[in-house]
Structure 1
Amino acid sequence: MIPVSEAEQRILSLVQPLDRDRDTEQVPLLNAAGRVLAEPVISSLDFPHWDNSAMDGYAVRYADVQNCAPDRPVTLTIAEEIPAGYQPQKVVQSGQAARILTGSMLPAGADTVVMQEDTQRQGDRVTILTVPKPQAFVRQRGSYYQAGTPLLPAGCNLQATEIAVLAAAQQASVKVYRRPRVAILSTGSELVDIDRPLQPGQLVDSNQYALATLVAQAGAEPVLLGIIPDDPEMLRKAIAQAI
């Protein structure tokens, strides 16, 4: 018998990395969970795709509201209503505001969003009660990610977060490494499969199921070669087949 550490070192010294050209495949995004990216992903989209609001409120020009206060409120005319998914049609001029919802595109001319709790509306006019910070509640185009730069690196393990990022980048499929194949064989004349009745002195081959599960959880493909009795020649042939 050799020590476990030596056996582990012998095995690891024989491991060869998967080849980026031969050992890859293109898979649909919904089948990519737990897989490893074989090449970097670069998107042609900025994130966010456009300047947008991080708050329900009113898109304004900061220059119009920078001096307002509870005792000096500023009243603006509402030029447009901008719900989510709508492309603004007007430019916010001096003295104007646009009603805007969270995630909606920021209209041209506006550079700041005042949340609705700091306003009072009457008809087509809105009164700004407190001065906001410049560019408050504005998510700038490309502030999270800029098109043409690496989005996810090769070697990235794809989990739920990465799948969501790829979906947002409209990546319907991705190039991943194939799953490593791991041959599993059980040795011992006392072992039997789970569907056979036990005879005196026999044991159920439960380790094969545990190892297969662990291999699958690690992202590899278990290849089950069954039970090999305590026969040197049969063991040699089984190991050769596994290799």
Structure 2
Amino acid sequence: MLPVSQAEQMILDLVQPLRETESIDLTLATGRILATEIVSRLDFPHWANSAMDGYAVKFADVRSSTSKHPITLEVVEEIPAGYQPQREIQSGEAARIFTGAILPDGADTIVMQEHTQRVQKNFVKIQIAPTARAFVRQQGEYARSGDPLLTAGMVLNAPEIAILAATGSSQVEVYRRPRVAILSTGDELVSLEQLLKPGQIVDSNQYALAAFVTQAGGVPICMGIVPDDRAKLTAAMSEAIASADLVLSTGGVSVGDYDYVEAILAELGGDIQIRAVAMKPGKPLTVARFERSDRAIVYFGLPGNPVSALVSCWRFVKLALVKISGLPASSWQPNWIAATTTEDLTADGKRETYLWGKLALSDGGYQFSLAGGSHSSANLINLAGTNALAVIPVDVTMLAAGIAVQVLVL
């Protein structure tokens, strides 16, 4: 059995980032990964403008204003947002201006309206002296034309979408989403539409893994249930390998008489790298690489037990999906944090043990609470609400309540 850390590094070494890109409409780009650097085509702001409702003035005219000795200026123009100023401000003049409006030539400072008093129709008293260039957003203050704004590998969320819209990018180049084929093996499995008979169980893995892949930014290709028939399994695995970037199958990777996955992978030309990992749950894990003319395919033969399958996905497959999707190398590691366990955590000490539960922020620190009920690899019921896995190292049999524990954030 391989140590978990060694298996992690081997999997990352097997996977190569996708380089295929596609141009999509900006309205569809949320959550996608940017494939090209975005360079500003404009200055931001595009022109000097006001950050306040008030009056555009020459600072030299109003620097000595006080409430007792206000400076009176003639208001020669009103400038709402979206309006091109028509006058250059001369000494002794001001322009009524609104937030976002273009600063008129000749003015260099904004006096907020709360510090003024309008007198008659065309005059204003400046009652408090502003600081020089107050409330003026200078042209190019945020970015200059030619400045890089977004780098390749960034996930496009609301801020990045706003920047792309501001630059006029109606189309955006993103990395293609990785295609992940998913198949379940086992004569005992039935689909949701079938009536359960004694000895049968619903194939929950197909749905769980499809949801996992979608959340991780991939495109699940659900291939359904394949019985424990060698010929049918060979055909299904061959089709999955030909159609996807990653393949996830559940079941058939242990040492039973009907566990055919490893043998078929070898027959199909797979380079088998991993056969078992020293972790609990998730010990049976087969990982193989297939070289294709256009890309390399990585095949994950996951355990059939629902918890084992998901823990293997959270621990290993997620890293593969992160790397293949085009995210930068800084994202290729698990998200570990230190938390305080609220109860005793126990293990047999023989393998690295993963216990599922909930992570919460309390009193300025993170606390991990174990999911209730049996921690069996077949018990998917108490997985509900799981957002973290606490890790008990090899040769450790208990972590007492109140001490720090390493937690994998899901």
Q: Which runs of structure 2 are paired with 1:63-212 in the superposition (5 Å)? A: 63-122=60-119, 123-212=121-210
1:53 alignment partner, one of 50, 54, 58: 50
Q: CA deviation at 1:235?
A: 3.1
- State the TM-score, normalized to the length of structure 2: 0.56
- Output the CA distance in 2 between the equivalents of 1:215 and 1:147: 39
Tell me which residue corresponds to 1:12.
12
Alpha-carbon distance between aligned partners in 2 of 1:9 and 1:237, rounded to the nearest angstrom: 30
Report the 3-state secondary structure (helix = DSSP H, G, I; strand = E; otherwise coil) of the residue aligned with 1:88.
coil
Change (3 A) 1:127 1:82: same
Which amino acid is the alignment partner of residue 199 of structure 1? K
Query: How far off its partner does 1:219 sit?
Result: 1.4
Cα RMSD (Å) of the superposition? 1.6
Residues 1:25 and 2:26 are matched in the alignment: no
Tell me the distance in 2 between the aligned counterparts of 1:226 and 1:5.
32
SS of equivalent residue, structure 2 residue 224? strand
Letter in 2 for 1:126: V
Range with greater deviation from structure 2 (2-11 or 167-176): 2-11
Gaps of 5+ in 2: 242-410
TM-score by length of 1: 0.93
Partners of 2:97 and 2:37 in 1: CA distance: 37
* Same amino acid, percent of matched pairs: 60
In structure 2, C-alpha distance between the alignment counterparts of 1:57 and 1:136, rounded to whole Å: 11
Q: 1:39 to 1:239 in 2, by over 3 A?
A: same
Moved more, 86-95 or 24-33: 24-33
CA deviation profile, 1:112-133 (whole Å, cap 9, x unmatched): 0000000000210000000011
Larger fraction in strand: 2
2:105 partner letter: A
Aligned residue pair count: 240
Question: For residues 80-120 of structure 1, what are the alpha-carbon distances to aligned partners after superposition, in whole Å with 9 as ceiling and x for unaligned?
Answer: 00011101000010000000000111101101000000000
- Tell me what 1:229 maps to: 227
On the 8 A contact 2:40/2:143 being kept in 1, the answer is no
Instruction: Note the alpha carbon deviations across 1:11-68, whole angstroms, 9 max, x for none.
Output: 433211112xxx1111111111111111101121111111000000000000000011
Structure with more relative contact order (C-alpha pairs < 8 Å, separation 6 or more) = 1
| 1:133-192 Cα deviation digits (max 9, x unpaired) | 111111111111111111111111111111111001100101111111111111221111
**Equivalent-residue separation in structure 2 for 1:52 and 1:60 (angstroms):** 13
* Residue number in structure 1 paired with 2:36: 39
